Amino acid sequence: MKRDVIYVVLASALPAFGNFVAVALALRYLDAEWLGKSYALIAFFFVAIDLFNFGSPRIFTVDKVRSQASTLIFLDCLSALGSTMVFATVGTLLINYGLFARTQFGVVMVLAPMFYGLSHFSLGVLRFYGRSGTICAISTVSALSRVLIIVLLIERRSLDAYLPDLLLLVEAVYGAMLLMAYLHSLRRGPPRDSEFFLPEAEKFNFRMFDYKAFFMQNRKEILGSWYGNAIFSGAKHVDIMIVAFIVGPAAGSLYRGVKSVHNLAFNCGQGVALVLSGRLKRVTVALLRLPQGRVMAAGVVVLCALVSLASWLACRIHLFPIAVLGSHAVQFGFMFVAFFGAALIFVCRVLSLLVFSANRASFVAISTLEVGASLLFVSVLSYGFGVIGALTGIVCAGLLVLAASLTISRSAARHTLASIQTTDAPVVGKWHGTCKNEA
């Protein structure tokens, strides 16, 4: 179990770190405008993917679904078809308008969403099979491929025009590797001691399966899972397109660089939340017993000190090409806002697990607030203040989400503390009563 947790954390952190390194190198050595259009195309790729991602692994965790079908790969077929149609048609149209970078080979506009769309169920089932190490290896290979692509383009600048093709090819190969790993695991069968796969589930047959009955019986689970992916996951990429469209491709590439830091914080926060899942409530209850004013003040001071140090180091090593922004004070302010937003995202991800365990309806409401507020603030502030305004919008949305998460987390902690005290009270009374009788 501990090994699987380590693999899951690494599979989340390593790709994010690889993307961060790749984007940082690209911003330093490649053309900013072409880079911005290329990353806008990749952002739209993931929007098209999430728009038709039903979350088949999440649906498969429902007992009644597993009892009806041994696989949900047919949902991925629908995902791949829908994503390919949207990405190939709308993406090509926006390319013709000059909003996205043009690919040299049109076939990648089909292969990338097709193979990636077929990997959703594969990714989840590999975890169910206990193949977290395989997922970690595939994710690491994809992350290294993105870095190697940028290194190749830096060494041979004549290949710059192939940047969008190569980036989409990495996503296609990633999906293909997951699909092949799933098919290989399917031949080997589930682990012998696994209680997850139900024996009463009939072996899936593409031609004989009653699709209509399945969708009618499980429409709530399918729609709920789809909503979570289409709204929450897809929104993580829409802001890149917004900044590129409003401020310009060059500013969009710089925003994508900061977004890689935010994604790293997001994935690390998810990993920390997973590791602390068994102790998160106890930590929150312990914090409730401390003076809240002092705790909050100390947390703000420590956070600002760490963010200031990270911002100063980023300016000294020229992490991103921010000299075009103006004076050193403006550059430091830019990095401070960027890292402060990353810190808020990290803290919110850690708290999200407690919010989810305490009240799922509140979790959905906070997630919806996060999506809507971030897109609104990014759109409005980027229109008025450029890329710095876009990053400020992320901070504003993060503060709202943090306040809501802390409120719900503290309420859940108080409820937990009250339950503990209520449970202990009869035991204490019984003990005193027994002592009195013995006396």
Say what percent of the chain tops pLDDT 90: 42
pLDDT at 196: 54
Identify which has the larger pLDDT, 272 or 45.
45
pLDDT at 209 over 90: no
Read off the pLDDT of each residue in 364-378 and give the average, rounded to a whole number: 87
Structure confidence by residue, pLDDT tens digits, 123-166: 888 877 777 788 889 989 999 999 999 999 999 989 999 999 99
CA–CA–CA angle 116, 121, 125 (5° rounding) = 130
Q: What value does the mean pLDDT of the chain take?
A: 83
Identify which has the larger pLDDT, 275 or 20.
20
Closest by CA position to 141, among listed 266, 310, 10:
10
Q: Are 258 and 250 in contact (CB under 8 A)?
A: no
Q: Which of 206-210, 349-353, 423-427 has the lowest mean pLDDT?
A: 423-427
pLDDT at 93 over 70: yes
Compute the distance between CA of residue 226 and CA of residue 261 in angstroms, rounded to an integer.
27
Residue 418 vs residues 97, 198, 412: alpha-carbon distances, Å: 61, 39, 10
Give the N- to C-terminal CA distance of the chain in Å, as an integer: 50
CA–CA–CA angle 119, 122, 126 (5° rounding) = 145
Handedness of CA 352, 358, 360, 362 (dihedral sign): negative
Q: Are 134 and 179 in contact (CB under 8 A)?
A: no
pLDDT at 420: 52
Instruction: List Cβ neighbours of 225 (8 Å cut-off, separation of 6 or more).
Output: 54, 55, 56, 58, 59
E strand map for 294-430? none
Say what percent of the chain tops pLDDT 70: 82
Packing angle, helices 235-246 and 249-275, rounded to 10: 160
Read off the pLDDT of each residue in 64-92 and give the average, rounded to a whole number: 89
pLDDT at 364: 77
Structure confidence by residue, pLDDT tens digits, 315-357: 999 889 888 888 899 999 999 999 999 999 998 888 877 776 6
Q: Are 16 and 267 in contact (CB under 8 A)?
A: yes
Place of tokens 């971030």: 374
pLDDT at 124: 82
Read off the pLDDT of each residue in 407-425 and give the average, rounded to a whole number: 63
pLDDT at 404: 87
Identify which has the larger pLDDT, 230 or 244.
244
Q: How many CA atoms lie within 13 A of 277 on its CB side?
A: 10
pLDDT at 199 over 70: no
Instruction: List Cβ neighbours of 344 (8 Å cut-off, separation of 6 or more).
Output: 394, 395, 398, 399, 401, 402
pLDDT at 72 over 80: yes
Counted residue by residue, the chain has a size of 439
Enter the tokens of residue 1.
């179990």
pLDDT at 314 over 80: yes
CB neighbourhood size of 242 (10 A) = 20
Assign 104 a pLDDT band (cuts: 50, 70, 90). Answer: very high
Read off the pLDDT of each residue in 206-225 and give the average, rounded to a whole number: 82
- The amino acid occupying position 146 is R
pLDDT at 435 over 50: no
pTM of the model: 0.83
**CB neighbour burial string for 78-90, b if at least 16 within 10 angstroms, e if fewer:** ebbebbbebbbee
pLDDT at 436: 44
Instruction: List Cβ neighbours of 313 (8 Å cut-off, separation of 6 or more).
Output: 319
Enter the tokens of residue 341.
């937003």
pLDDT at 439: 34
Identify which has the larger pLDDT, 431 or 165.
165
pLDDT at 306 over 60: yes
Q: Are 103 and 35 in contact (CB under 8 A)?
A: no
Read off the pLDDT of each residue in 286-291 and give the average, rounded to a whole number: 57
Structure confidence by residue, pLDDT tens digits, 384-405: 899 999 999 999 999 999 888 8
